């Protein structure tokens, strides 16, 4: 339930006050929509020591432009996808560089699964 409270007396601004039911509506376990594009970009870059976030963002934007997909706040989506990938173990991070946490054979299986699913 969403309640409004006033700030600074009765003539103040209204701000939403969250309750338990409002915070429980968050979706948990949702995969970011650009995770597969981020993994594909890392695989295409083929950097031995890993790819920087800037190069991954540029590569994903090129992939999205070639597929005629337009999103708002693409860099935010990519950063969230990188964070989710690191937390789930699909992507490894070391010193500001990212590389796939999967072998090339496992990545091929993952990619074919994504196309079929």
The encoded tokens of residue 115 equal: 């196309």
The domains of the chain are located at: 35-116
β pairing state of 3-7 and 91-94:
unpaired
Mean pLDDT of 65-82: 88
The residue whose two tokens read 């963002």 is 57
pLDDT bin (cut points 50, 70, 90) of residue 30 is low
> Does residue 91 have a pLDDT over 80?
yes
Q: Is the dihedral of CA 102, 108, 114, 117 positive or negative?
A: negative
Taking the C-alpha atoms of residue 64 and residue 80, their distance in angstroms, rounded to an integer, is 16
Can you give the pLDDT at residue 27? 46
Can you give the pLDDT at residue 78? 94
Taking the C-alpha atoms of residue 20 and residue 3, their distance in angstroms, rounded to an integer, is 12
Taking the C-alpha atoms of residue 78 and residue 54, their distance in angstroms, rounded to an integer, is 10
- 35-116 — its CATH code? 1.10.10.10
Can you give the pLDDT at residue 25? 43
Q: What is the pLDDT of residues 95-108, one digit of tens each?
A: 999 999 877 677 77
The C-alpha R_g of the chain, in whole angstroms, comes to 19
Can you give the pLDDT at residue 60? 93
pTM (predicted TM-score) = 0.65
Count Cα neighbours of 6 within 13 Å in the Cβ-side half-sphere: 5
């Amino acid at each position: 339930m969403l309640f409004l409270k006033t700030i600074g007396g009765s003539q103040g601004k209204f701000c939403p006050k969250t309750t338990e039911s409002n915070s429980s509506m968050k979706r948990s376990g949702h995969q970011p929509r650009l995770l597969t594009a981020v993994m594909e970009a890392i695989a295409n870059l083929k950097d031995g020591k890993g790819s920087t976030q800037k190069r991954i963002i540029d590569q994903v934007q090129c992939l999205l432009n070639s597929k005629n997909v337009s999103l708002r706040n693409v860099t935010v989506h990519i950063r969230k996808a990188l964070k989710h990938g690191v937390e789930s173990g699909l992507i490894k991070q070391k010193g500001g560089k990212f590389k796939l946490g999967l072998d090339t054979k496992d990545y091929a299986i993952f990619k074919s699964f994504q196309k079929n699913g």
